[in-house]
Structure 1
Amino acid sequence: MALNPTAEALLAAVLASPRAVAAHDKSAWVNLFTADAEVNDPVGSRPHVGRAAIERFYDTFIAPNGIAFDVAADLVGGHSVVRDLYIETTMSTGAMVRVPMHLRYDLAALDGDWKIVRLAAHWEFPAMVTQLMLRTGVRGLTASAKLGPQLIANQGLGGTFGMMRAIRSVGKAGKTAVTQLFSAAAATDIGRVRTLLDDSTVLQLPAGSTVSVEEFTNRTRNMRWDKLIAAGRTVSISVELDGAPGVAFVDFAASSHRIDAITVFLDENA
């Protein structure tokens, strides 16, 4: 089944991003965003807001590197596109890291074109640093030594400390809570699901369609999942529901492990 015209246009706007990255075309990449757009990469770090900040982001993290996208699924819901993928980054020293990731692009129509309002990159900063430092040898150590000065030169001390905020996340405890919840839902154990959620939790299945706890539990029976990523106050997770691939975003409250919201993007054309 083909995508509807709006979904096709949204996906086309998003696919222009990796093309511009591969071509190292800074102007083309930055022009994909609205003037007041936000790049939150990784989620949990301080966002880069506005054209000047997004240009500095490009200079710091894209320009010096070769970046390849290994995509498992592209999902469209509402005016958002979610990509389930791995990104392989080859740094100037030759060090290469392969990072599991979920990318969410929120878009808006502007002068007849779809533009990116927010890019949220869900990946685990500490795991990437560990891979770079411990598994890529001298090339990785050299790349790490170069990255620090690049960060300070392009982002300033404030931006550097803002990046370091990504070290903190809901982490293992968040992943455990999500695993418990999804296990209970897959087993249609609504009593257990109710103990892990509360009346204020917003459940969207699929994205844009709010459902009750009962409907969420019934629709996710026999659900399968893997690739849990804890970034900031969110755990993202690759799922398969009735044969359709998807990505779920589980958002936690600011100061606890209470689940605020679950949004599931599904490939409903699968």
Structure 2
Amino acid sequence: MALNPTAEALLAAVHASPRAVAAHDKSTWVALFTADAEVNDPVGARPHVGRAAIERFWDTFIGPNGIAFDVDRDLVGGRAVVRDLYIETTMSTGATVRVPMHLRYDLAEVDGAWKIVRLAAHWEFAAMVTQLMLRTGVRGLTAAVKLGPQLIANQGVGGMFGMLRAVRSVGRTGKKAVTQLFSAAAATDIGRVRALLDDSTALQLPAGSTVSAEEFTNRTRNMRWDKLIAAGRTVSVSVELEGARGVAFVDFATGGHRIDAVTVFLDETA
């Protein structure tokens, strides 16, 4: 199935981001965002809001490094694009880390051009730090030592503590809850699904289309999933449903492990 013109335009706007990163073109990259945009990278850290903050984000995390995008697939739902991918970052010291990730871009049309309103990068901060510190040797340790002063210089002490908020997430408990929900749904165990959710849980399958718990269970029969990522209050998951690949975002309530929402983006071209 061919993509509609809006989907093509959204994808074009999103694809401009890694091109600018690869070219180390800061001004082009920053111009992809609206003036009041939010970069939440990683989800769980304090967001970078507005043009000046996004410029400082570039100076801290993108400009000094080499970043390569290894994209498995792009998904479009409404005015959002989700990328299922790995990102490989080579630090200035030569240390390289490869991080599993789900990226969500929410976009808006501004003066006839599509701009990014919010970029949400779902990846596990603690796992990346462990990979950097333990698997890349002296180069990784040196990169970690350099990052702290660099972060403070660009974003202040508050920025450093804001980044460290990403250490906390729903973690293994959240992943276990998602596995239980998806297992029950795949087995069409509607009673178990209802027990794991409540009447206030928002279910979208696909993104933008609200469904009931019963409908969600029927449509996810025999669903497969892998690549669970816990970032902040969300677990993102790569899924396969009736031959279509996608990404599900499972949001948890603040301060607990009640599931607030499940949003599934599916491949339009499947």
Instruction: State the alpha-carbon separation in 2 of the partners of residues 159 and 116 from structure 1.
Output: 22
Equivalence for 1:111:
111
Q: Is residue 258 from structure 1 mapped to residue 263 from structure 2 by the alignment?
A: no
Q: Following the alignment from structure 1 to structure 2, what is the Cα–Cα distance between the partners of residues 22 and 268?
A: 27
1:168 partner amino acid: R
Question: Normalising by structure 2, what TM-score?
Answer: 1.00
Residue equivalent to 2:145 = 145
Q: Aligned letter for 2:184?
A: A
For the residue of structure 2 that corresponds to 1:183, the secondary structure is: helix
Paired with 1:70 and 1:185, the residues of 2 have a C-alpha distance of 30
Once residues 20 and 120 of structure 1 are traced to their aligned partners in structure 2, the CA distance between those partners, rounded to angstroms, is: 18
1:66 maps to a residue whose letter is: G
| Matches of 2:243 and 2:68, distance apart in 1 | 27
Mapping 1:25-36, distance limit 5 Å: 25-36=25-36
CA separation in 2, counterparts of 1:230 and 1:108?
Answer: 27
- The residue type paired with residue 27 of structure 2 is S
Distance 1:138 1:160 in 2: 23
| Corresponding residue of 1:123 | 123
What root-mean-square deviation, in Å, do the aligned CA atoms of Structure 1 and Structure 2 show? Answer: 0.4
Quick one: distance in 2 between partners of 1:135 and 1:179? 29
After superposition, give the CA deviation of every residue in 1:178-215 in whole Å (9 maximum; x if it has no partner). 00000000000000000000000000000000000000
> Structure 2 CA distance, aligned partners of 1:269 and 1:124?
29
Residues 18-44 of structure 1 deviation map (CA, whole Å, 9 limit, x = unaligned)? 000000000000000000000000000
Q: Which string of whole-angstrom CA distances, capped at 9 and with x for unpartnered residues, describes residues 243-269 of structure 1?
A: 111000000000110000000000031
CA distance in 2, matches of 1:201, 1:207: 14
Q: Deviations over 1:33-62 (max 9, x none)?
A: 000000000000000000000000000000
Equivalent position SS for 2:116: strand
Distance 1:2 1:13 in 2: 18
1:165-204 pair list within 5 angstroms: 165-204=165-204
Percent sequence identity is: 87
Structure-1 residue corresponding to 2:15: 15
Letter in 1 for 2:227: K
Give the TM-score taking structure 1 as reference length.
1.00
Aligned residue for 2:228?
228
Distance in 2 (CA, whole Å) between partners of 1:155 and 1:101 is: 24
CA displacement at 1:2 relative to structure 2: 1.4
Secondary structure of the residue that 2:254 maps to in structure 1?
coil
Shift of 1:233: 0.2
Give 1:74's aligned residue.
Answer: 74
SS at match of 1:249: strand
> Cα distance, 1:76 vs. partner?
0.2
SS of corresponding position for 1:89: strand
Pairing of 1:149-164 with structure 2 (within 5 A): 149-164=149-164
Between the aligned partners of 2:71 and 2:235, the Cα distance in structure 1 is: 19
Counterpart AA for 2:216: F
Q: Which secondary structure does the structure 1 equivalent of 2:93 belong to? A: coil
Q: Deviations over 1:75-127 (max 9, x none)?
A: 00000000000000000111000000000000000000000000000000000
Structure 1 spans left out of the alignment, 5+ residues: none
The CA distance in 1 between the partners of 2:47 and 2:229, in whole Å, is: 18
Contact 2:3–2:268 (CA under 8 A) maintained in structure 1: no
Can you give the 5+ residue segments of structure 2 that lack an aligned partner in the other structure?
none
- Following TM superposition, the consecutive aligned residue runs of length 4 or more in structure 1 with deviations greater than 6 angstroms are none
| Structure-1 separation of matches of 2:240 and 2:73 | 11
- The DSSP-based 3-state class of the residue aligned with 1:218 is helix
